Amino acid sequence: MARKAPVKPARLSKEQAARKAFAESLKRFEGAPKAKASPQRQAKPFAIPQPPPGVLPSSEARKPSGALALAMDEAPGVVGWSNWASQYGGSWAFTEGLEFLGYPYLSELSQRPEYRKVVEIPAIEATRKWIKFTAKGGNKSKESKIADIEAEMVRLKVRDHYKTIIEQDGFFGRAHLYHDLGVDLDDINNPELLTSIGNGRDEATKAKVNKKTPLLALKPVEALWTYPTNYNSTQPLKQNWYRPDLWYVMGTRVNSSRLPCFISRPVPDLLKPAYSFGGLALTQLVKPYVDNWLVTRQGVQDIINSYTVFALATAMSEQMQVGGEVLTNRANVFTNYRNNRGLMLYDKDLEDFKNVSAPLAGLEALQAQALEHICVVANEPLVKFTGNTPSGLNASSEGEIRVWYDWINAFQNSFIRSQLQFTIDLIQMSIFGKVDEDITFEFVPLFELDEKAAAEVDKIKADTAQVRIDSGVIDPTEEREHVVNDAASPYPGLDPEDAPDLLSEEMQGLEIPGARPEVAVQELEGGKPNGKGKAKPKAAQ
């Protein structure tokens, strides 16, 4: 049997040899193992969330998911509506923040500074200067009452608790403030917790809150520990439509009047069950923009770390030959020890060594723009969020700050005022036994003039007052009283009744031969004395 001649390998072209050499070189480099692709999450934007263990009593927790729907017996359609609406959800909803992210995940987001700052900044600003009590008509007899109310608010730490409420609303979309009236909380079936304490001024409040049963403390409660129950889901025309009358708090049912709910960004009715009757968290709103910022920030950092690449033009076909790993080892050594003091040796005739740099111009603008998008969604000026002032000729952030303070004032009135009024009413019921409706409060404006601008405004006011006095519109004593009542007056403690007698002081140095002092005053002022050493104008006589 004849032996077959060995088959000679086909001669490779230069292009084929280069491709094979490249493939061989890749095998010699250590490659990181590929990460397993995580399964795509199926979004369920209308799914009813499951509360954590202990929030619902064991009798409710044992029910199947349908009956658990919202711990409700009066909501037969809620589960059906949620199932119907869920067919329109997409897998992109979670990434874009278009479904309830869940309190555990929202809690995780609070650890990132980008999420934390957008929540803490409005909470700090809205409670920084806080409120000022006033009496209608400037009634000074109310000053002692106002002092008692202010002292009680300090004892109850009202400002600190409302700051926490604003933060929790930003992190979770819902917050609660428990008004402690001394009810025994160890008994989870205490019937007193199921009773209403009214609206702060009605008969129900008078029966529950008074000097004998005062408001003892305030306690913010995170949305995670609460769950809604007993609400109207059958008649949208009623006032209590989709407004829970009771809330579970770790198995204890509490009347909603004792545990007011704070929601600054409510969702449509169809989404309320999916959000546990809460609202949109601010962190959920900014999530897509924070994600973009994190990607941009890391991308810019990666470009900076590798903006220059060293390239060695050599004969890659040598990789196929014995000893070809020398080239690979040479590249590894240079890569691992590369710095400004490193050295790369190459053949001056067969190799060419150079570096290729990526342009860095414009990266700072792209990175800053990605950060600004977060501020746009959060309605916060960039200078407040980052502390960086605008750059450029005549650049100023004063206009942005004015708009920001106007927004904070609107936020205070729309989100805080009604609930804060309820708390203040309970404080008055505890101290006085009734609510004094002549005592009101206003949020102190955040905007302040600097010393120069304040002095200019004060000078304008003084000139205006002088014109009114000279024209007889007002008396100097009236202007003095206005200065005393001005909160920005540079003369604190001024007595409005102890006005200096300027005419008497002037007459002490004025001598008119043969004239009596009262005649001299009349001739000086062109009128008659007014009994206080001041003469009235002739037109007023």
Identity at 534, one-letter amino acid code: K
- Helix/strand/coil for 227: strand
Q: Compute CA 73 distance to the chain's CA centroid, rounded to the nearest angstrom.
A: 36
CA angle 125, 128, 132 (to 5 degrees): 125
DSSP state of 318: G
234, two tokens: 């059958």
Contact of 72 with 231, CB cutoff 8 Å: yes
What is the edge-to-edge ordering of all strands in the sheet holding 261-262?
217-222, 175-180, 261-262
**Predicted local distance difference test score (pLDDT) of residue 522:** 55
CA-to-CA dists, residue 15 to 19, 206, 325, angstroms: 6, 94, 20
- Helix/strand/coil for 168: helix
Secondary element (H or E) of residue 124: helix 113-126
239, two tokens: 């006032």
CA-to-CA dists, residue 402 to 291, 408, 413, 458, angstroms: 29, 10, 17, 21
Contact of 229 with 247, CB cutoff 8 Å: yes
Buried b / exposed e over 323-362, threshold 16 CB at 10 Å, is ebeebbeebeebeeeeeeeeeeeeeeeeeeeeeeeeeeee
**Predicted local distance difference test score (pLDDT) of residue 209:** 94
**Predicted local distance difference test score (pLDDT) of residue 364:** 78
In whole angstroms, what is the distance from residue 309 CA to residue 88 CA? 48
DSSP state of 236: T
**Predicted local distance difference test score (pLDDT) of residue 231:** 85
The DSSP line for 391-417 is -STT---HHHHHHHHHHHHHHIIIIIH
Q: Compute CA 241 distance to the chain's CA centroid, rounded to the nearest angstrom.
A: 28
Identity at 256, one-letter amino acid code: S
CA angle 27, 30, 32 (to 5 degrees): 115
Measured in residues, the chain has a length of 541
Name the residue ranges covered by the structural domains of the chain.
48-77+97-285+374-448, 310-350, 454-540
**Predicted local distance difference test score (pLDDT) of residue 118:** 93
In whole angstroms, what is the distance from residue 336 CA to residue 499 CA? 86
Q: What's the pTM?
A: 0.72
Secondary element (H or E) of residue 67: helix 65-68
CA-to-CA dists, residue 399 to 299, 392, 403, 444, 464, angstroms: 33, 16, 6, 19, 28
Contact of 163 with 123, CB cutoff 8 Å: yes
In whole angstroms, what is the distance from residue 370 CA to residue 476 CA? 59
* 327 Cβ contact partners less than 8 Å away, ≥ 6 residues apart: 25, 314, 318, 319
10-residue mean pLDDT profile of the chain (541 residues): values are 56 62 56 48 66 73 44 50 52 66 91 93 94 85 92 96 97 96 90 94 93 95 92 88 92 94 93 91 92 85 77 75 74 78 78 78 79 86 78 62 91 95 96 94 86 80 85 82 74 69 61 54 51 45 38
